Chains A and B, each alone.
Chain A
Amino acid sequence: ETGVTQTPRHLVMGMTNKKSLKCEQHLGHNAMYWYKQSAKKPLELMFVYNFKEQTENNSVPSRFSPECPNSSHLFLHLHTLQPEDSALYLCASSHLLAGRSSGANVLTFGAGSRLTVL
């Protein structure tokens, strides 16, 4: 497989369930991201991992728990979610270069996991 793969593509869960979203990239990138996409709102950056270390937590509620065991895999563990957490969750990766500004380093996205919380 190539690119960024997300599973599952669709997930329906109750507010008391525990589930996980998985992301895997085969691009040799060393930075991985979780974004939340809700209707008519800008993409919300949730978490950033550079070289497996979390470098950004954008005030995300603790009911979302990320895990990055290596540079190729990223998880988002979900527990006691609310209906307003229903959204498309997008994983992305990029190549992190040294320095404050690393040129036109681009994000490559997965197809997303559509989450519905009942």
Chain B
Amino acid sequence: GNSVTQMEGPVTLSEEAFLTINCTYTATGYPSLFWYVQYPGEGLQLLLKATKADDKGSNKGFEATYRKETTSFHLEKGSVQVSDSAVYFCALKGNFNKFYFGSGTKLNVKP
């Protein structure tokens, strides 16, 4: 079946530090992969996506590369800001338009 596993948080970093949030998946077929972000009091927003192996999704300084050989889609950012503090969700879209989400990783960035 399909599932997503991401690192437990919270992750606490100082401003301008390097960020990595790990995400691995199990899927049948060839899923599309996503990172969503949830700011306090809001719903989830799409951050970036990748549709096939070796694709790199990027947005707002965040990047993630679709690694089929390691079934991973780790989120990275070279220099985080306080405004990046949020909960980050890794997700995959399998067949028949079904989406599967991880449990979320809370990021706290301190000035």
- Name A's B-contacting residues (CB within 8 A): 4, 6, 31, 33, 35, 40-43, 45, 48, 50, 55-56, 90, 92, 94, 96, 100-112
Contacts and interface: CB of A to CB of B under 8 A. Distances in A.
Contacts of B51: 103-104
B4 A108 contact: no
B93 A112 contact: no
Contacts of A108: 46
Contacts, number: 66
Contact of B49 (A90, A102, A104): A104
A79 B99 CA distance: 27
Contacts of B46: 106-108
Task: Give the interface residue-count category, chain B.
Answer: 20 to 34
A100 B96 contact: yes
Contacts of A94: 97
Contacts of A55: 96
A34 to B, nearest CB: 12
Contacts of B49: 104, 106
Interface string B74-107: 0000000000000001000111111111111000
Given A42-B4, A104-B51, A4 B43 contact: yes
B97 A50 contact: yes
B44 interface: yes
A104 B91 CA distance: 12
